A = this chain, B = another copy of it.
Amino acid sequence: MSFFAGLLSTVFERRYRSPLEPDLEGRSMPELCAAVLGRSGEVSGAATARHILDRYARMEGDERLGFFKLLAEEMGLDAEAVRRTLAAFETEPSSETYRAFSAAVEPKRQELARRLNQVPGATAQLVQMRRDLLDALPMHPDLGPVDQDLRHLFSSWFNRGFLVLLPINWESPAEVLEKIIAYEAVHAIDSWEDLRRRVQPSDRRCFAYFHPAMPNEPLIFVEVALTKGVPGSVQALLSDARDELAAEDADTAVFYSISNCQAGLAGISFGNSLIKQVVADLSRDLPGLETFVTLSPIPGLMDWMQEVGRVMSDDPEQQRQCAAHYLLQAKRANGSPRDPVARFHLGNGALVHDVHASADVSPNGMAQSGGVMVNYLYDRARIAQNHEGYAGAYEVAASASVQALAAAADRASDQGHRDGEPSL
* Chain A residues proximal to chain B, CB less than 8 Å: 1-14, 16-20, 22, 39-40, 42-44, 46, 77, 79, 82-83, 86, 89-90, 93-96, 98-99, 101-102, 105, 114, 117-120, 122-123, 137, 141-142, 144-145, 147-149, 152-153, 155-157, 159-162, 164-167, 169-177, 192, 196, 210, 212-213, 215-216, 269, 272-273, 276-277, 279-280, 283, 347-349, 380, 383-384, 387-388, 391
Decide: A1 near B167, CB < 8 A? Known: A123-B161, A388-B40.
Answer: yes
Interchain nearest-CB distance for A166 vs B (Å) = 5
Decide: A170 near B161, CB < 8 A? Known: A86-B82, A383-B20.
Answer: no
28 contacts between A and B (CB under 8 A): A2-B13, A3-B166, A3-B169, A3-B171, A3-B173, A5-B5, A5-B9, A6-B167, A7-B164, A7-B210, A19-B276, A22-B384, A43-B348, A77-B101, A79-B86, A82-B105, A93-B145, A94-B141, A96-B144, A102-B149, A105-B105, A118-B273, A119-B161, A120-B161, A157-B162, A171-B174, A173-B174, A174-B174
The answer to whether B6 touches A7, judged by C-beta atoms less than 8 angstroms apart, is: no
Query: Which residues of B sit under 8 angstroms from A380, Cβ to Cβ?
Result: 19-20
By DSSP majority rule, is chain A's interface helix, strand, loop, or mixed?
Answer: helix
Within the complex, which residue of B11, B117, B142 is in contact with A164, where a contact is CB–CB below 8 Å? Answer: B11
Please give me the residue from chain B that is nearest to A283 by CB atom.
B19
The distance in angstroms between the C-alpha atoms of A280 and B155, with both chains bound, is 32
The answer to whether B280 touches A16, judged by C-beta atoms less than 8 angstroms apart, is: yes
The distance in angstroms between the C-alpha atoms of A319 and B279, with both chains bound, is 56
Within the complex, which residue of B83, B93, B273 is in contact with A86, where a contact is CB–CB below 8 Å? Answer: B83
Interchain nearest-CB distance for A181 vs B (Å) = 10
Decide: A12 near B2, CB < 8 A? Known: A40-B388, A95-B144, A102-B148.
Answer: yes
Within the complex, which residue of B93, B117, B137 is in contact with A142, where a contact is CB–CB below 8 Å? Answer: B93
